[in-house]
Amino acid sequence: MKPAAFAYHAPATLAEGVALLAEFGDTAKIIAGGQSLIPMLALRLAAFEHLVDIGRLPELRGIEKGEATVRIGAGTTQATIERSAAAVPLLARATPLIGHFQIRNRGTLGGSIAHADAAAEYPAVALTLDADMEAISAAGRRNIPAADFFTGMWSTALADDEVLANVTFPVWPGRTGFAIEEFARRHGDFAIAGATVAIEVDAGNRIRRCGIGLFGLGSTPERAVTAEGDLTGRDIADVVPDDLGRTAVSGLRSVPSDLHGPAEYRKRVGAAMVARAWRRACAEARDG
Ligand SMILES: Cc1cc2nc3c(=O)[nH]c(=O)nc-3n(C[C@H](O)[C@H](O)[C@H](O)COP(=O)(O)OP(=O)(O)OC[C@H]3O[C@@H](n4cnc5c(N)ncnc54)[C@H](O)[C@@H]3O)c2cc1C
- pLDDT single digits (tens) 115-148: 999 999 999 999 999 999 999 999 999 999 999 9
CA of 284 to the centre of ligand 1 (A): 30
- The per-residue pLDDT for range 105-115, each reduced to its tens digit, is 999 999 999 99
CA nearest ligand 1 atom 53, residue: 35
Rg (CA), the chain: 19
CA nearest ligand 1 atom 37, residue: 111
Mean pLDDT of 222-232: 94
Percent of the chain with pLDDT over 90: 90
* Residue 89: predicted pLDDT: 95
CA of 233 to the centre of ligand 1 (A): 38
Mean pLDDT of 152-159: 96
Residues with CB under 6 A from ligand 1: 29-37, 39, 54, 74, 98-99, 103, 106-108, 110-112, 114-115, 117, 120-122, 158, 163-164, 188, 190
- The per-residue pLDDT for range 237-285, each reduced to its tens digit, is 999 999 999 999 998 989 999 888 899 999 999 999 999 999 999 999 9
- pTM > 0.95: yes
CA of 243 to the centre of ligand 1 (A): 34
CA of 75 to the centre of ligand 1 (A): 11
